[in-house]
Amino acid sequence: DTGVSQNPRHKITKRGQNVTFRCDPISEHNRLYWYRQTLGQGPEFLTYFQNEAQLEKSRLLSDRFSAERPKGSFSTLEIQRTEQGDSAMYLCASSSSQGGGETQYFGPGTRLLVL
């Protein structure tokens, strides 16, 4: 049984560089979510997909952020021109819309440090 996987687990980059993270959801799940978590806080919603359609984006998701889920399976989150304030843990979660589908299962996260 494979859960949600995320790559890379850690990323250190310099301010101004672009970074891309990948999330592979649980295979039968059609919904995929991205959250951001800063130190000492609970995760905050960024965006979510049902299949390949991006259904909602948070106001936290500035125009430097873009997320895709081209074939309704894995997803990527790209941050362009990174800023130090982007340093955080980026979490991916997936769920199934069938049978109620409230429960979200999280991956291990990608920790980003912008120097």
Partner 1 sequence: TQLLEQSPQFLSIQEGENLTVYCNSSSVFSSLQWYRQEPGEGPVLLVTVVTGGEVKKLKRLTFQFGDARKDSSLHITAAQPGDTGLYLCAGGRNTDKLIFGTGTRLQVFP
79/93 with CB nearer partner 1: 93
| Total binding residues toward partner 1, as defined by CB under 8 A | 29
* Segment lying near partner 1 (by CB under 8 A), choices 13-21, 66-74, 78-86, 95-103: 95-103
Which member of 7, 68, 74, 105 binds partner 1 (CB under 8 A)?
A: 105
Phi–psi pair at 71, nearest 5 degrees? -115, 15
8/101 with CB nearer partner 1: 101
89 contact partners, CB below 8 Å, separation of at least 6: 36, 37, 38, 109, 110, 111, 112
* Beta carbon of residue 13, minimum distance to partner 1 (angstroms, whole number): 18
Q: Output helix, strand, coil percentages for the chain, rounded to the nearest 5.
A: 5, 50, 45
Report which of 111, 78, 109, 76 is spatially closest to residue 92, judged by C-alpha positions.
Answer: 109
30/80 with CB nearer partner 1: 30
